[in-house]
Structure formats: structure tokens, C-alpha cells
Amino acid sequence: MNVQAQPVADTGVGDEDKALFEEMVRRILEQEVAPDYERWEQAHQLPRELWYRLGEAGLLGVDLPEALGGSAAGVEICLMICEEISRQGFGGLASGYNIHANIVMPYILHLGSEAQQQYWLPRMASGEVLGAIAMTEPGAGSDLAAMRSTAERVDGGWKLNGAKVFITNGQLADMVIVCAKTDPSAGARGVSLFLVDTSLPGFSRGKSIRKIGQHASDTAELFFDDLIVPDDALLGEAGKGFVYLMQELPRERLGVGAQALGAIEGALQLTLDYVQQRRAFGQRIADFQNTRFTLAEVRAQLEMGCAYFNQCLQRYAVGEMSGMDAATLKLMLSEMQCRSIDRCLQLFGGYGYTLEYPISRFYVDARIQTIYAGTSEIMKEVIARDMLGRTA
């Protein structure tokens, strides 16, 4: 049985073009990723050349203008790629792709100068440059006001000092968007963003952080020790970093939502196949009422999640997706992903707890979704403040 959720909303690309992109993405993933992904999981690292291959195949920067190396295909195609990578069970790659193509590149497209766009984006679209974004610090996650990394004005540029942690793509990144305080006395209003070339003196990486899931996605500590960047490394205006982060959150959380929908669909398909083949007490697992009700609930939740995702995507396409929309989407879909995949794994019995069955990878890969890009608790706070006011 083929599980198909509703397609993403129509934001400018025809159905025929969408179908062509989707088929191309599936074929590329089956050829370039599937044969080696288990080995990459064991190595806790994606190979650097994979990004060149994805760029050569046209999967990076699909919604960039053609003049900047893209296909001008629309944001829904980029999100479809996130969803398909997750559907095939490549959670680590999905997170790395989401950071590079759905977060970092749009930051530069929306906030960068023409020179910055021309310098970075074509090379990011080709895979020559891999991007990351560095916000979280050892003592400051969602609380940006507690950030300690600083950027101090010097002749001809800025001097960066500080450390970041849990940075996806951190080990391989060629360019990192770094959040740093340019006015330590101004709290969140003193944050600025910088495009940091990782080949510069003063930039270093710690060892890879081992995680319970998404093993193929490298996660690193980054350090800045009197790192000097030129004036033109400032992204946008000084002191507006927090505003920019809030401005770009809707797209980031659409990406997390697309990953969640794809993973639920992929896990559900694995489960449907398994319960129709596995037998117990003289009948298929699929013939037990508990199995049928569980699958029905997961499918119903998936359809509801797709409907709200499409609604948010339509709002995003016309510039009307609010921070509360983004928080609601991120909260509900990431929590739904963890619950749904947990219920799917249960139907595998003991086999679901083994590494022999791919459902186990869906399970461990899902767990981070309620944590990164804003924890579920922070999402609830955002929603509550929207309802009750800032003093809630």
C-alpha cells in the first residue's frame, strides 16, 4: 500500500513540474545516498563529496534565481526535498540539507548585499561551499540575550571571540553564519550576524558530538579566537540580528515540519509492509484490531498535519505566516512525529528495537525534532504569549 499525504501547497510551480522534481529527487537519493547511507551512519559523518553530487544534480538552492545558480523553482520544491529525504529514512542528511539549503541560503538571499549573494550563493548551489548557522552556545540555547560570543569593531572589520555548540554541518562547513553580540549592553538588540569563512585564522572546530540519532549529520563545537572578518562579512545591519532571526524562523520551522511529515510517512509505510507480512496467533499482525486502529490514527494525524502545513506554506508564500503560526506548526508536527513513530515501532515488537530494521533509525532520528529549532517548551511559551500578552 502506498501512503501519500496531500502535496504541498501550490505557490507557483505547476503540478507537472512538481512531479518531475519529485521523481528526480527520489531517483538521485536512491542512486547517490541509499547504497552508502548505513556506512555514513556508522562513520558519524556524511562525505564532503556528497554535497558536490547534490549540487551537480541541481538539488541545492532550487529556489534561488537562475542568475545565482538556482532553478527559480519555489520554496515548496526545497521543502519537498526535505520531506523526501526524511521519507526515505535519511534523517541526518535531512537536517544537514535543511540547514544548508533551507536556512543558510535564504538568509543570504533575503539579507545579503548583492556582492555577498554573488560571492556565496552560486558556490553553495554547486556544493563547493557548505553552509552552517551558529546560534547555540554552551550556556545559551534559546535565550539569545545570554549569548557570550562577541564581535568588536577593529580597523577594516570585526574581531570575533566565543564558542558555539551543537552546530549541524559544523565539521565540514566552509562558511558559517555566526551570531555574536556587537553591543553587549543591549541584550537581544545587540546581536549581529556575520558570514564567516572557516578558512580564516582564529576559526577552529572541536571534536564531533556523538548523538543518539541522526548519526550521519555531523554536529560540532566551533571556536572563534580573535578571528578577524572584513567589514563586508556583516550580514544586514549591525544590531538587527535578533530581528533577522525572528524574520527567518517561519521558513526554518517549515523545514522541520517537512522533515516530520516525510518521516511519519516513511515510518508508516514500513509499518504497513511489516504488519501485512508478519503473523502471530495464526493471523497477520494487520488483522488485529489494535494494529488497524493504531495505523488509522497515525494516518489521520498525518493528513491533519499535512493540511496545516499546507495552510502555513500558503501564508508563507504571501508573506503572512506569523511567528505564532511557525511555533504551532513546529510544536504540533515535531511532537506528532515522535508519537507516531513510537506507535509504529511498537507494532514491530522486539524487531523494532533492533538495528536490523530501519524503523529503529526513524525512531532515534525523530527525537531531536522536539528540541532543535526551538524546543517544544519554547514553542508553547510563544503561543501562550501570543494569546495572553507579553506578561504571561
Spatial distance between the Cα atoms of 258 and 220, rounded to a whole number of angstroms: 24
Residue 140's pLDDT band (cuts 50, 70, 90) = confident
CATH number for the region 242-388 comes to: 1.20.140.10
In the numeric block, which cell numbers belong to residue 349?
515488537
Calculate mean pLDDT across residues 13-35. Answer: 88
pLDDT at 9: 42
Provide CATH code, domain 132-241.
Answer: 2.40.110.10
Give the count of beta carbons closer than 10 Å to the beta carbon of residue 354. Answer: 10
Fold of the 15-130 domain: Butyryl-Coa Dehydrogenase, subunit A; domain 1 (1.10.540)
Judge whether 311 and 276 are in contact, CB under 8 Å.
Answer: no
What mean pLDDT is predicted for residues 141-159? 88
Has 381 been annotated as catalytic? no
Instruction: Answer whether 298's CB lies under 8 Å from 344's CB.
Output: yes
What residue has cell string 511529515?
261
Per-residue confidence (pLDDT) for residue 232, from 0 to 100: 96
Whether the predicted pLDDT of 8 surpasses 50: no
* Whether 359 contacts 352, CB under 8 Å: yes
pLDDT tens-place string over residues 284-311: 999 999 999 999 999 999 999 999 999 9
Average pLDDT of the chain?
A: 93
pLDDT tier at 18 (50, 70, 90 boundaries)?
A: confident
144 pLDDT exceeds 80? no
Taking the CB of residue 351, how many other CB atoms lie within 10 A of it?
Answer: 14
Does the pLDDT value for residue 251 go beyond 80? Answer: yes
CATH 1.10.540.10 occupies which residues in the chain?
15-130
228/233 Cα distance (integer angstroms): 10
Instruction: Name the DSSP class of 51.
Output: H
Across 99-128, average pLDDT: 98
pLDDT by residue (tens digit) across 42-66? 999 999 999 999 999 999 999 999 9
Is residue 71 pLDDT above 70, yes or no?
yes
Report pLDDT for 14.
67
Assess contact for 310 and 13: CB atoms under 8 A. Answer: no
Q: Which residue has the cell 541526518?
A: 92
Q: Which of 252, 335, 377, 381 is catalytic?
A: 252
The CA angle 215-219-220, to the nearest 5 degrees, is 145
Q: Does the structure show a pLDDT above 60 at 357?
A: yes
Residue range(s) occupied by CATH 1.20.140.10 in the chain? 242-388
Structure confidence at residue 16 (pLDDT): 74
> What's the rounded mean pLDDT across residues 223-229?
98
Instruction: State pTM to two decimals.
Output: 0.93
What was the pLDDT predicted at 390? Answer: 62
Give residue-wise pLDDT tens across range 309-354. 999 999 999 999 999 999 999 999 999 999 999 999 999 999 999 9
Residue 378 has pLDDT above 50, yes or no: yes
pLDDT tens, residue by residue, 196-208: 999 999 999 998 9
